């Protein structure tokens, strides 16, 4: 049976071009800053984002946690969206590693607006409130179904934060999906942000790695923090070689994944027991509510060769990516429809 894996874009495998580049990559010891391929990737990332410097890290979680540590001191609050990755999927590290707490604000479809953030800030006035230290944005927003924060709102958030003397970080794990959907480039989209973290290992198909981009001063400090977290890698050039292709080649094809996600959402939109609005599917993530038990639905889909994620008792996520074709997404959509009908019969 053919398996169509829509659990995440992290399941993408390195492309043949990546494997070729990996096998011939020039390498050195990156803890001594002597890996030429890592150095090239970091320089290229800084250039693409129009920032001074970048650092290669093993995971997006590490990039985010380094940023959090860079911009804060213990006892501060970090304002983020209510379903942010940093809150739900990073092991409480804001508290564990940086001694900060997260103050959540709900954004419509995960999109924060400055008017929603402002009342949550503590920067003046009562000395006995934990002071806000950082504003945190996620674009695209994973758990809100890959929703895109538009350019004007990205700027509004940046100006709002800076107007209050606060740094602003972008968790841009999928920032290339956002820039693709917005038909802009990442440098424009993230201009003026104090730091941006993005993943090479999701829709961009690299086997491992993320980059944190920021000022030269911040990245010099980030190198020490990365080492403290155990993220000092040695001949990481074999990974960076794939990363360069991810950054320069694979970032240009995400429209296909977005079209496939839309197609999938359209296939299931009118099905009884499922609620999803295809118009809200802007990138490569489809999140939908089910009237039936989501884990049981996902288990039945698996028996038919379609892998999905149950986010909770009645929410399912599909993620499209390079390693699933349009035909496979259409086929998965049909299986999703059939299995939903079976679920409703069972619960009737
Ligand atoms: C995947 C992801 C991360 C971090 O990813 P790792 O699995 O640690 O590489 C961070 N933020 C968002 C929004 C993500 O989707």
| Mean pLDDT (whole number) for 251-270 | 97
Looking up tokens 């809100």, which residue turns up? 144
Q: What is the pLDDT of residue 1?
A: 85
> In angstroms, what is the span from residue 93 Cα to ligand 1's centroid?
13
State the pLDDT at residue 268: 96
Mean pLDDT of 201-220: 98
Chain segment 138-177, per-residue pLDDT in tens: 999 999 999 999 999 999 999 999 999 999 999 999 999 9
Which is it for strands 168-171 and 285-290: parallel, antiparallel or unpaired? Answer: unpaired
Inform me whether the pLDDT recorded for 201 exceeds 90: yes
Our answer on whether the CB atom of 247 is closer than 6 Å to any ligand 1 atom is no
Tell me what the mean pLDDT of segment 30-36 comes to: 97
Q: Across-strand partners of 315?
A: 289, 312
Show me where the domains of the chain are located. Answer: 4-10+253-346, 16-251
Give the tens place of pLDDT for each residue, 226-240.
Answer: 999 999 999 999 999
pLDDT score for 126: 82
pLDDT at 125: 74
Region of poorest pLDDT, from 21-30, 122-131, 324-333: 122-131
Name the residue at shortest CA distance from atom 14 of ligand 1: 173
pLDDT for residue 9:
98
Residue 343 near residue 292, CB atoms below 8 Å:
yes
Instruction: Specify the pairing of strand 101-105 against strand 77-81.
Output: parallel
The reply to whether the predicted model has a pTM over 0.75 is yes
Q: Cβ(60) to ligand 1 under 6 A?
A: yes
CB 81 near ligand 1, within 6 Å: no
Ligand 1 centre to CA of 203 (Å) is 11
Displacement of CA 264 from its chain's centroid (Å): 21
For residue 50 the two structure tokens come to 């129009």
Q: Are 27 and 237 in contact (CB under 8 A)?
A: yes
Q: Which of 276, 337, 273 is nearest to 304 (CA)?
A: 337
For 44-57, the pLDDT digits (tens) are 999 999 999 999 99
Q: Which CATH class is domain 16-251?
A: alpha beta
Alpha-carbon dihedral 79, 85, 87, 88, rounded to 10 degrees: 160
For position 100, what pLDDT does the model report? 98
Q: What is the pLDDT of residues 80-129, one digit of tens each?
A: 999 999 999 999 999 999 999 999 999 999 999 999 999 999 977 788 99
Rounded to a whole number, what is the largest CA-CA distance in the chain?
A: 64
pLDDT(346) > 90: no
Computed on alpha carbons and rounded to an integer, the radius of gyration of the chain in Å comes to 21
**Residue 219: what pLDDT?**
98
Residue 326: per-residue pLDDT: 98
Pick the CATH number of 4-10+253-346 from 3.40.50.720, 3.90.1150.10, 3.30.70.60, 3.40.50.1010: 3.90.1150.10
Q: Is the pLDDT of residue 242 over 90?
A: yes
The whole-angstrom separation of Cα 277 and Cα 96 is 38
Q: Measured from the CB, is residue 139 less than 6 Å from ligand 1? A: no
Instruction: Please provide the average confidence, as pLDDT, over all residues in the chain.
Output: 97
Residues 66 and 230: their CA atoms lie apart, in Å, by 12
132: tokens are 């806000």
Phi/psi of residue 149, each to 5°? -85, 120
The reply to whether omega before 140 is within 30° of 0 (cis) is yes
Ligand 1: residue of 142, 197, 287, 321 to mutate (most ligand atoms within 8 A of CB) is 142
What percent of the chain stands above pLDDT 70?
A: 100
Q: Is 171 in the pocket of ligand 1 (CB under 6 A)?
A: yes
Spatial contact of 322 and 176, defined as CB atoms under 8 Å apart:
no
CA pair distance 130, 337, nearest whole angstrom: 49
Tell how far the Cα of 216 is from the centroid of ligand 1, in angstroms.
24
What tokens appear for 160 in the block?
Answer: 């709002």
């Amino acid at each position: 049976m053919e398996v169509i894996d829509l659990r995440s874009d992290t399941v993408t495998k390195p492309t043949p071009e990546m494997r070729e580049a990996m096998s011939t990559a020039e390498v050195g010891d990156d803890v001594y800053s002597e890996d030429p391929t890592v150095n090239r990737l970091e320089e290229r990332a800084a250039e693409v984002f129009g920032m001074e410097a970048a650092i290669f890290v093993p995971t997006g979680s590490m990039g985010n946690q380094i940023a959090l540590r860079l911009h804060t001191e213990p006892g501060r609050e970090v304002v983020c969206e209510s379903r942010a990755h940093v809150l739900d999927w990073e092991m409480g590290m804001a508290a564990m590693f940086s001694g900060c707490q997260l103050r959540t604000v709900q954004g419509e479809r995960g999109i924060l607006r400055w008017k929603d953030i402002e009342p949550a800030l503590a920067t003046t006035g009562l000395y006995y409130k934990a002071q806000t230290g950082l504003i945190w944005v996620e674009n695209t927003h994973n758990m809100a179904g890959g929703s895109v924060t538009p350019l004007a709102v990205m700027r509004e958030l940046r100006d709002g934060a800076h107007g209050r003397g606060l740094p602003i970080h972008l968790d841009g794990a999928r920032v290339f999906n956002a820039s693709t959907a917005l038909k802009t480039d990442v440098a424009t989209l993230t201009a003026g942000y104090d730091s941006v973290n993005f993943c090479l290992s999701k829709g961009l198909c690299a086997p491992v790695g993320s980059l944190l981009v920021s000022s030269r001063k911040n990245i010099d400090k980030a190198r020490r923090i990365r080492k403290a977290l155990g993220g000092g890698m040695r001949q990481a050039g074999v990974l960076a070689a794939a990363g360069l292709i991810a950054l320069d080649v694979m970032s240009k094809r995400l429209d296909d994944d977005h079209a496939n996600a839309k197609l999938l959402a359209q296939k299931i939109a009118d099905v009884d027991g499922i609620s999803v609005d295809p118009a809200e599917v802007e990138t490569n993530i489809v999140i939908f509510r089910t009237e039936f038990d989501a884990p049981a639905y996902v288990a039945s889909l698996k028996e038919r060769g379609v892998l999905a994620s149950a986010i909770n008792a009645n929410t399912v996520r599909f993620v499209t990516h390079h390693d699933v074709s349009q035909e496979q997404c259409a086929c998965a959509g049909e299986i999703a429809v059939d299995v939903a009908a079976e679920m409703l019969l069972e619960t009737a």
